[in-house]
Structure 1
Amino acid sequence: MAHGKWNLRPLLPVEVIDIVTLWHTYRVPIIITTFTILIIFRTILHLRVPRVKVSDTPPLSPKLPAEKEKAPLEEKFVAEKVPRRIVGGLKKRKSSEDEVVLACQNIQVIVFFSSLTTTTEKRAKVFADELAQSTKEFAKSTSAIFLEPQLLDLSYIDYDDYFITPPKADANTQYFYLLLIPTYNIDTVLDSFLEHLQETHNDFRIDTAPLSPLLGYSVFGFGDREGWPTEEEGFCSQARDVDKWLAKLTARKRAFPLGMGDSKVDAAERLREWMEGVEDVLGHIATTGGLGEGVIGSGDAVESDVEDLDDEEDEVLFEEQKVAQRKTKVQKKDVLNDVEDIGNTLNLTPADPSEPLELDFTTYNKKARSTPTPVIKEMVPKNSPTYNSLTKQGYSIVGSHSGVKICRWTKSALRGRGSCYKYSFYGIASHQCMETTPSLSCSNKCVFCWRHGTNPVGTTWRWKVDPPELIFDGVKAGHYQKIKMMRGVPGVRAERFAEAMRIRHCALSLVGEPIFYPHINEFTAMLHKEHISSFLVCNAQHPDQLRTLKPVTQLYVSIDASTRESLRKIDRPLHRDFWERFQECLQILREKRFQQRTVFRLTLVKGFNIEDEAEGYADLIEKSLPCFVEIKGVTYCGTSSSAGAGLTMQNVPFYEEVCAFVEALNASLSKRGLEYGIAAEHAHSCCILIASNRFKMEGKWHTRIDYEKFFQCLESGKSFTPEDYMGPETPEWATWGNGGFDPRDERVDRKGRPKILPGEAVGKVKVGKEDEAGE
């Protein structure tokens, strides 16, 4: 202690104090020197160890000669100093890892086709069978796994499932599309298919190449050079359009060029050549995993000069537009316009200069500023397969888009063997009923449609329009002609034959969509003028036409499903907004329920729309509040087209199953407080009627119609309600629980089975081909 204070500094050895002092004095030079020595040492070690060069390029063969394996690695890369340039051929694998990936891939080939006369369908089946054998051979020599080729009819699929994105499957499955496309001069499902491809490409919500995950695609077209000698004149035009649109949607993954063959001359030979090319491409895909490097001839679809254009300029035009453009080019060829000609063209402006010119943006492009005049064609030309098919089925084609046919029930009533359900429910004798339609085209492809694949389809009217007078006179003449053909049929009753020569009722429900016809109001007015009642059936897809429809005797709307998904599966509508259109039509029907008799028609298809849907149907009835609800079991005619749509006899419900569904539906309506009840039945038609209590008086149902009173109300010009032309009491034999067979007639079984008398149990009854209903 010094100066009275403690010395707190620790007592350290003198050597330690000297080292610490030296470190603080020389620490910077020491650190720098140490760091420099380490860098020099590392550099020496790096220079002494030989460098090994690693390359991503695989050897040319998995097995090399022994001399090359022993050669220094530096010698192998002397020739690799300049990168190789592949100017054609196949794309080589980059590593053995890719082979492992390819070995895990399943390749699914899907063959799409369309056919009206079954010719293309038969060729497609043979093609798919032969392709299956070829892919089995590929599987033996490669590590790829080819699944059994699928064969799909474009008429029976939902385009959204295949042509917006590839099918949803496991991650190890890749798809390859092949399409066999005939060309027709009438509107078929191919027109809707092309429209779908065009809309998909132009839909801003969808990627411009949504089908790019496909391995590739190729198209083969069938044509007829007698009608279209050259491609410019339309030979295989629809196949060429499909090929071009798919090139856009797949990011130009055309695997093999478009094949074309003349159906009457060389289609089989050309198809064989095209198939060999497709098989070669599939073999390349199995070996290399892709189409190629993307040069001309290797798979990238750049060989078409049309596809090299900008998307705004590259528009695929439909056949009628192409014909119009060709005519325009011929007319303008070698013509010089002078000042007078220019003056004439200036006179073609609209009368009202303030009114803008109409422009069709579906065909507008930079090259052609003027919109070509479309060629208006007939819906069903007399030289078309559709015309031949419909006439073979017993239709009389009137004009270019209308038809008439007598049904099985008309023939039955003429012979005293019973009328259809319309007589039991509404008092309409079948032998005085005419079934017709002013439009053979429809916007749905229902699985239970009897004429599916033979009648035209479309979402808008783009055909020649026949005047209503021509249709009215034509369908009456066609109907009477068919009635006269029944004169010599054994069993025809003279009094009923005489009655049949006076049409009293018209059922606008034959085939197609009646309200599609632009002059439907004028046509029904002609019926009413001659005191012919009108029952019109529509499919709830045309709300604008339904809203403007003038009163008819009874207005039907087909209600085939209670949910969006089930409606899409059973009706297969062409409109993308089909559910919104459906809902809007239900609202319109609700508004019309006090102006005319409105009816829901439910067609029950077992496995599609019966199971657990009674509550859903009750919701729809509550929304629309129709006057009547007809529930009918589907009719199966045993046609191949029905089987192709997934419909078999197993989908036809027994009558007891229809009864059980009706009782469940009626209970659902009662729970909701809706005033409905089961009013009548016709077991022979497998049809039951639920009616609103508006048509029940003093405990008795009055479902029949006073037709004379209806025409009086209509001709008065005053507003009236369905109750104003309510008819007499429903006969006892037609009410619920009594079978509904007219006691005046005799029921005859075509197959010689015991007759079922009125009132007897008819639970185990199906409506098949032998008991085909009238509509």
Structure 2
Amino acid sequence: MGGSSADMVSGGLLSLWHSYRGYIIIAATVGILIIRLFVNSAPKSTPSASSPPPAKSVPLKAVESTKSPSLEVSREAATAPTTQSRPSSAERQKKPAQAANGPKRVRGTRPTKNGQKGHSDKIEAGQKIAVQPLVFFSSLTSTTESRAKFLSERLCKQSESSIVDGAPAFLPPQVHDLSYIDFEDYFVTVPKVPEQSPNTKYMYFILIPTYNIDSIIDNFLGHLDETHNDFRIDTAPLSGLAGFSVFGFGDKEGWPTEEEGFCSQAREVDKWMAKLTGRKRAYPLGLADVKADVEGPLIEWCDGLRDALVDLGTTGGLGEGVPGSGNAVESDEEDIDDNNPSNGDAQLVDLEDIKFGATEESSAGREALPVDFTTYSKSSPAPQSEPVKEMVPKTSPTYASLTKQGYTIVGSHSGVKICRWTKSALRGRGSCYKNSFYGIKSHLCMETTPSLSCSNKCVFCWRHGTNPVGTTWRWKVDPPELIFDGAKEGHYKKIKMLRGVPGVRAERFAEAMRIRHCALSLVGEPIFYPHINKFLSLLHREHISSFLVCNAQHPDQLAALDRVTQLYVSIDASNRESLRKIDRPLHRDFWERFQRCLDIIREKRFLQRTVYRLTLVKGFNVDDEVNGYADLVEQGLPCLIEVKGVTYCGTSTSAGAGLTMQNVPFYEEVVSFVVALDAELKRRDLGYGIAAEHAHSCCILLASNRFLVDGRWHTRIDYNKFFSLLEKEQRDGTTFRPEDYMRETEEWAWWGNGGFDPNDERVYRKGKKKGTVIPAKPLTNKEAVVEI
């Protein structure tokens, strides 16, 4: 009965719904409309002065531009009232139309700690701007350097006389040589703002001469080009700068007009800086003819910079016509997109229209379309008819500078120079560490290089920034026979010039006219030369041993290198950051190249003698890096490890690179480092020990136990045995190992004995007593003496 009653009730309700459902729906709709009209017509409450303000909604664009990996909403914002009226139809019409949905542009600048992106252009009201000018220059003859210093001094005086709100309008300029800075520190992102002066704005002033030879300016221009066209970063990563200006020096006798090349490199820098900064040109490009009046245009340009700096310090902007500070910039050639020319000749091709794997019929009659997904550059390769440049032309300032430094230029890209140890050995005053470690008398050694160019700008380099640099060979290539004959001729000429020097021994002078060893470690990068193996064969054919040093930046060339008497790789740092600061490499993947070279050294260690050369620079790569160096030794397992203190060149350019006498370690400091490294290698059971030393040149040798025979070190080389084995290998393919041509180390070169050849005469300088020093007993580390 209960079940039938429930069925009757539900059946009655269902019949009522079917009978009156239309009226019920209409009544419910009218009720909802009345409620909505009542709610909308109710007066809005005005918050009192004591009530908290409503929370502001975050605009969508602000969210999209935030680089933080997560967006967090604070508890106060989440609990605050969010009552906000919708915009009216009139207000919606005033708002600009939003861009259509599409891929978002990836910005390459890192977020700052406060969440803002990059270097903000906005300074809070009432806060004074600290304007910091940075003066950059490049110079092969030091002329542009002197003009950069003149500019800096003039701006300093003008800063003292330009007072804004009781303080100088801008800070004293800082001067930087392009040869001694890391481009990524200044020309990929804006320098970091000092914490004590958060309102600092940077202004770049760049002084550029124009050369018809390869110089650091070419690498600088290439860096600006790559930075702008790198798809990983913004096309204008330097937009955080307050502004920039460029001044160029040229020669109107050689290039009469701008179209013919007058100040062409300065104009290129100006163009790229305009792109990288978003057209923040603070003052027009200045040009001067070096054969006419240079001082007048430079002073006029300097005064214009002062006005721009004062405007920036006073108003916070550069004036009207500059982006963000006034009227819009008028259209010019810099507004034309490199990828979208407006002349109508070029046609845009949609990615979907590119036919990959097209049939022969569809591609007939037209050339294949090259697709490059890594760059936006429109530059085309140089025409084949254009002559290839010489690396060091005889008319170039590079040639003049290197010649003045004592180099003999061979051909167009090679050089030879007499080492100071050669002069010392000729006078019987001692040879370099190669004599102590390997039995090479310095007066029998020729120091040369088939490539004056290098891919590093090491802080301790002897070339003072005058050599060309590059990442690829782009110059005329001289035949190896020309280099070999020219290097010998240049070396012998320099030896003959020493025959009148007091103290030169006749027997050693006669011996020096027969080269027995070649140190391919002068300057530059020997394996950079495309025919290095042929050059080595010419050396070995005349039984001249080869000691080749590379900078671990060309792994492909290192892997293809034929046998040498001894193969060096420079290990100037134990980690990526230290290597970048010391070697200042041009390759962006320098650390990966470095690691590959160490792996190649490991593979070659049973084919030829491999050596790590560690150059210790105090303040750069000495402190707390023993474990890192031990890691690199474990990776490459070289036969030998040379540890040497850096040699200070004593030049202003070295000081500009951050290197002073304070960075030169004492011999005791080198000893302490070697002892610590030896202990770490023994702890890892890698099989190394301290074999020899040459305190005279602040150098110590560690060797693998492969060269420890019956408790005595065999680090010297039997050169006759080496050439005999080499000729046999070339004749019938019989390979040999480094142990097959080793020879016992002389006792006076052992670790603890100082390493000075007793057959030579030790001469002390600077008022010290002259005489022969032959230790009667092994010297302790503290007793080892270094000549100043």
What is the TM-score when the length of structure 2 is the normalising length? 0.77
Please, which of 202, 213, 221 is the counterpart of residue 194 of structure 1? 221
Alpha-carbon distance between aligned partners in 2 of 1:124 and 1:384, rounded to the nearest angstrom: 21
Alpha-carbon distance between aligned partners in 1 of 2:189 and 2:466, rounded to the nearest angstrom: 29
Distance 1:592 1:371, change over 3 A: same
Partner of 2:760: 745
Please, which of 154, 175, 180 is the counterpart of residue 156 of structure 1? 180
Deviation at residue 573 of structure 1 after TM alignment: 0.8
The count of aligned residue pairs is 643
Contact 1:111/1:128 (<8 A) preserved: yes
Partner of 2:156: 132
Partner of 2:622: 610
Alpha-carbon distance between aligned partners in 1 of 2:369 and 2:478, rounded to the nearest angstrom: 27
Please, which of 741, 744, 747 is the counterpart of residue 732 of structure 1? 747
Please, which of 240, 254, 257 is the counterpart of residue 213 of structure 1? 240
Partner of 1:757: 773
After superposition, what is the alpha-carbon deviation per residue over 1:552-586, rounded to whole angstroms, capped at 9, x for unaligned?
Answer: 00000000000111111111111111111111100
Query: For structure 1, which segment, 583-592 or 120-129, has the greater mean C-alpha deviation from structure 2 after superposition?
Result: 120-129
Distance 1:305 1:226, change over 3 A: same
Residue 126 of structure 2 corresponds to residue 105 of structure 1: no
Contact 2:123/2:199 (<8 A) preserved: no
Residue 704 of structure 2 corresponds to residue 692 of structure 1: yes
After superposition, what is the alpha-carbon deviation per residue over 1:86-144, rounded to whole angstroms, capped at 9, x for unaligned?
Answer: xxxxxxxxxxxx99626332111111111121111111112112112223333335788
Partner of 1:252: 279
Which residue type is aligned with residue 316 of structure 2? G
Alpha-carbon distance between aligned partners in 2 of 1:604 and 1:681, rounded to the nearest angstrom: 15
Deviation at residue 172 of structure 1 after TM alignment: 1.4
Please, which of 458, 462, 466 is the counterpart of residue 470 of structure 2? 458
Contact 1:103/1:143 (<8 A) preserved: no
Alpha-carbon distance between aligned partners in 2 of 1:538 and 1:590, rounded to the nearest angstrom: 15
After superposition, what is the alpha-carbon deviation per residue over 1:674-718, rounded to whole angstroms, capped at 9, x for unaligned?
Answer: 100000011111110000000111011000111111112211133
Alpha-carbon distance between aligned partners in 2 of 1:274 and 1:659, rounded to the nearest angstrom: 53
Secondary structure, counterpart of 1:680 in structure 2: strand
Contact 2:613/2:643 (<8 A) preserved: yes
Distance 1:304 1:413, change over 3 A: farther
Contact 2:229/2:377 (<8 A) preserved: no
Distance 1:39 1:429, change over 3 A: closer
Contact 1:560/1:571 (<8 A) preserved: yes
Q: Which runs of 5+ in 1 are unaligned?
A: 1-27, 43-97, 315-352
Deviation at residue 442 of structure 1 after TM alignment: 0.9
Query: For structure 1, which segment, 284-293 or 612-621, has the greater mean C-alpha deviation from structure 2 after superposition?
Result: 284-293
Please, which of 215, 221, 239 is the counterpart of residue 266 of structure 2? 239
Deviation at residue 441 of structure 1 after TM alignment: 0.7
Which residue type is aligned with residue 220 of structure 1? F
Alpha-carbon distance between aligned partners in 1 of 2:441 and 2:502, rounded to the nearest angstrom: 20
Partner of 1:66: none
Distance 1:299 1:689, change over 3 A: farther
Partner of 2:256: 229
After superposition, what is the alpha-carbon deviation per residue over 1:303-332, rounded to whole angstroms, capped at 9, x for unaligned?
Answer: 784323222278xxxxxxxxxxxxxxxxxx
Partner of 2:507: 495
Alpha-carbon distance between aligned partners in 1 of 2:382 and 2:462, rounded to the nearest angstrom: 43
The structure having more radius of gyration, on CA atoms, is 1
Partner of 1:332: none
Alpha-carbon distance between aligned partners in 2 of 1:39 and 1:412, rounded to the nearest angstrom: 103
Partner of 2:76: none
Q: How does 1:72-151 map to 2 (within 5 A)?
A: 101=125, 103-140=127-164, 146-151=170-175
Residue 674 of structure 2 corresponds to residue 662 of structure 1: yes
Secondary structure, counterpart of 1:423 in structure 2: helix
Q: How does 1:109-508 map to 2 (within 5 A)?
A: 109-140=133-164, 146-169=170-193, 170=195, 171-294=198-321, 305-312=332-339, 373-508=385-520
Which residue type is aligned with residue 174 of structure 2? Q
Alpha-carbon distance between aligned partners in 2 of 1:301 and 1:701, rounded to the nearest angstrom: 76
Query: For structure 1, which segment, 493-502 or 130-139, has the greater mean C-alpha deviation from structure 2 after superposition?
Result: 130-139
Alpha-carbon distance between aligned partners in 1 of 2:170 and 2:150, rounded to the nearest angstrom: 18
Q: How does 1:557-636 map to 2 (within 5 A)?
A: 557-636=569-648
Distance 1:431 1:172, change over 3 A: same
Deviation at residue 644 of structure 1 after TM alignment: 1.3
Deviation at residue 492 of structure 1 after TM alignment: 1.2
Please, which of 509, 521, 531 is the counterpart of residue 533 of structure 2? 521
Deviation at residue 726 of structure 1 after TM alignment: 2.7
Distance 1:143 1:648, change over 3 A: closer
Distance 1:469 1:275, change over 3 A: same
Alpha-carbon distance between aligned partners in 2 of 1:766 and 1:263, rounded to the nearest angstrom: 51
Deviation at residue 766 of structure 1 after TM alignment: 8.8
Alpha-carbon distance between aligned partners in 1 of 2:294 and 2:283, rounded to the nearest angstrom: 17
Contact 2:484/2:535 (<8 A) preserved: yes
Secondary structure, counterpart of 1:661 in structure 2: helix
Contact 1:224/1:263 (<8 A) preserved: yes
Residue 727 of structure 2 corresponds to residue 715 of structure 1: yes
Q: CA RMSD in A?
A: 3.1
Query: For structure 1, which segment, 280-289 or 303-312, has the greater mean C-alpha deviation from structure 2 after superposition?
Result: 303-312
Q: Which runs of 5+ in 2 are unaligned?
A: 1-30, 46-121, 342-364
Distance 1:683 1:213, change over 3 A: same
Contact 1:220/1:260 (<8 A) preserved: yes
Deviation at residue 380 of structure 1 after TM alignment: 0.7
Secondary structure, counterpart of 1:211 in structure 2: coil
Alpha-carbon distance between aligned partners in 2 of 1:306 and 1:522, rounded to the nearest angstrom: 50
Alpha-carbon distance between aligned partners in 2 of 1:472 and 1:656, rounded to the nearest angstrom: 40
Deviation at residue 294 of structure 1 after TM alignment: 3.1
After superposition, what is the alpha-carbon deviation per residue over 1:149-169, rounded to whole angstroms, capped at 9, x for unaligned?
Answer: 211111111111111111011
Identity level (%): 70
Which residue type is aligned with residue 295 of structure 2? A
Contact 1:424/1:742 (<8 A) preserved: yes
Deviation at residue 286 of structure 1 after TM alignment: 2.3
Residue 699 of structure 2 corresponds to residue 672 of structure 1: no
After superposition, what is the alpha-carbon deviation per residue over 1:348-388, rounded to whole angstroms, capped at 9, x for unaligned?
Answer: xxxxx999899999999879899565441111111111111
Alpha-carbon distance between aligned partners in 1 of 2:516 and 2:709, rounded to the nearest angstrom: 27
What is the TM-score when the length of structure 1 is the normalising length? 0.78
After superposition, what is the alpha-carbon deviation per residue over 1:601-641, rounded to whole angstroms, capped at 9, x for unaligned?
Answer: 00011111111111110110000000000000111121111
Alpha-carbon distance between aligned partners in 2 of 1:500 and 1:388, rounded to the nearest angstrom: 28
Q: How does 1:33-44 map to 2 (within 5 A)?
A: none
Please, which of 515, 528, 547 is the counterpart of residue 535 of structure 1? 547
Contact 2:229/2:376 (<8 A) preserved: no
Alpha-carbon distance between aligned partners in 1 of 2:499 and 2:379, rounded to the nearest angstrom: 63
Please, which of 638, 658, 672 is the counterpart of residue 646 of structure 1? 658
Distance 1:370 1:636, change over 3 A: closer
